[in-house]
Structure 1
Amino acid sequence: MKLLLTSAGVNNKSIHNALTDMLGKPIASCNALCIPTAMYGHPWVGPGVNAWEFISGKSENPMVDLGWKSVGVLELTALPSISRDRWVPLVQETDVLLVSGGDALYLNHWMRQSGLAELLPALQAVYVGMSAGSMVMAPNIGEYFASWTPPGGGDEALGLVDFAIFPHLDHELLPDNTMAAAERWAAGMRGPSYAIDDQTAIKVTGGAVEIVSEGNWRHFTP
């Protein structure tokens, strides 16, 4: 699976070009599934109007509104209650998964509970994450970002990449998300990590990691 891990969506030309390169065909020819699940676990963004804005492409973070051939909704909390025959083929056939921000641990929980997590490594689709949708790919997210508490505790995530992500670096509405805060967070992580601002994304293809940025970012090693 190809990963485009963003802080705030496909919001500049460099990230947009990286996405179209990963897709291998025009966006207008691609079918997408959007996953809003992470939003419901975070008190700032869900449930309610923000979830609707993401699904409808009305949010300030370009993902759903990029001009896809079609867009469907894949709500992970619903999947355990329906037959896998109804949704697994849909996921396997889609060109791109658009995964919203919210709470990364809540998203991790429902990716595992739904069965989506076990499908991800073998999918041909491009996975585009935003904020928590990107952080969930890491081995763990760090206590700094832990808000929703999983049934078993801890801050473990999917571990489909070997690095962690500190999103929204130096965001004007998140005054605590400074580079100094990112340094302290990184010092407590088990492995390598990246701090990225909203003009930056991390592209992962075939195990190779590439930074796509028109902004500010930093790589931390243990």
Structure 2
Amino acid sequence: MNLLLTSSGLRNETLRNTLRDMLGKPFSAANVVFVPTASVAEPGDHTWLVEDMTRLHALGWRQFDILELNGLPRQLVLDRLLHADVVYVEGGNHYHLARSITANNLGTGFLEALQSRVYVGVSAGSMIFSQNLTEHSAEVIGDTADLHLLGAKTMDPPFALFDWYLKPHLYSPDFPERDDAWADRITERADFPIYFIDDDTALRVRAGEVDVVTEGRWRFHP
């Protein structure tokens, strides 16, 4: 399984080259499926979504598909994932994304599709693989409001592949509160490992091994 878990998409040449290397062929010879599901639970202006989709589209894919996980028959969703070489899952509310996967019984089929494809996560799309994506981590991280927005009090992780948790947008001007002091407060409460990554950083996961790809800054709390 090849995962490229970003904070804010393919914002620099290092991340784009990493994806190209993981894919093993030119973007022009590959199909990508763009999953915007997490974004629809976010209120307010969605220029960030349009900008990231435009940036991805500009890489020049053979086919650029857009797939919403809710409302379509399960097998149709899985068939669309299987038709892609790259599954690109956008940011937004990670709890909504996780619940969309579990509620539509997509977990097993989704993971099976990823065995022979490259997955690129953006923010929420990068956060859904942790076994610690629960109501407890929501309280530790300070994301409880995002969970309650959905009318939910509990959360079951859809995949539970890793014990570590990923928190994006460290030092981001769009999230000015996410500085070292913010990360320090979280790590004081946390009883699980956390990667904090900025918008120029990604975690690359290959055969279960994790390494950091970056033109920016990141932190790890073991």
Q: How many residues of Structure 1 are paired with residues of Structure 2 in the alignment?
A: 211
Moved more, 140-149 or 102-111: 140-149
Which of 76, 80, 90 is the matching residue for 1:100? Answer: 90
Partners in 2 of 1:50 and 1:168 — Cα distance? 13
Q: Name the counterpart of 1:69.
A: 62
- Counterpart secondary structure, 2:5: strand
Residue in structure 2 matched with residue 39 of structure 1 by the alignment: 39
Aligned-partner residue type, residue 138 of structure 2: G
Matches of 2:153 and 2:58 in 1, distance apart?
Answer: 36
Deviation, 1:39, is 0.7
For 2:184, what is the secondary structure of its paired residue?
helix
Say which SS state the counterpart of residue 169 (structure 1) adopts: coil
- 1:142 matches 2:152: no
For residues 42-95 of structure 1, give each alpha carbon's deviation from its aligned partner in whole angstroms, at most 9, with x where no partner exists. Answer: 22456xx665x268x33xxx334322111111101122xx3x343322212310
Alignment check: 8 A CA contact 1:37 1:75 kept = yes
SS at match of 1:162: coil
Structure 1 contact 142–155 (Cα < 8 Å) conserved: no
TM-score, normalised with respect to structure 1 = 0.86
Q: Where do 1:1-150 residues align within 5 Å?
A: 1-44=1-44, 53=50, 57-58=53-54, 62-79=55-72, 82=73, 84-123=74-113, 124-139=116-131, 140=133, 141-143=137-139, 144-146=142-144, 147-149=146-148
Pairwise CA distance, 1:106: 0.5
Q: Secondary structure at the match of 1:148?
A: helix
- 5+ residue gaps, structure 2, are none
Q: For 1:131 and 1:78, locate their aligned partners in 2 and report how far apart those are by CA, in whole Å.
A: 23
User: Separation in 2 of the partners of 1:180 and 1:65?
Assistant: 37
Deviation of 1:152 (Å): 5.1
The root-mean-square deviation of aligned C-alpha atoms, in Å, is 2.1
Distance in 2, Cα, partners of 1:90 & 1:66: 20
Once residues 76 and 51 of structure 2 are traced to their aligned partners in structure 1, the CA distance between those partners, rounded to angstroms, is 23
CA 1:45–1:202: 2 relative to 1, 3 Å:
farther
User: How far 1:157 sits from its partner (Å)?
Assistant: 3.0
* Long gaps (5+) in structure 1: none
Change (3 A) 1:217 1:5: same
Deviation, 1:8, is 0.5
Q: Is the 8 A contact 1:7 1:168 kept in 2?
A: yes
What's the counterpart of residue 196 of structure 1?
A: 197
Q: Deviations over 1:113-148 (max 9, x none)?
A: 223322232221111010111112222153323313
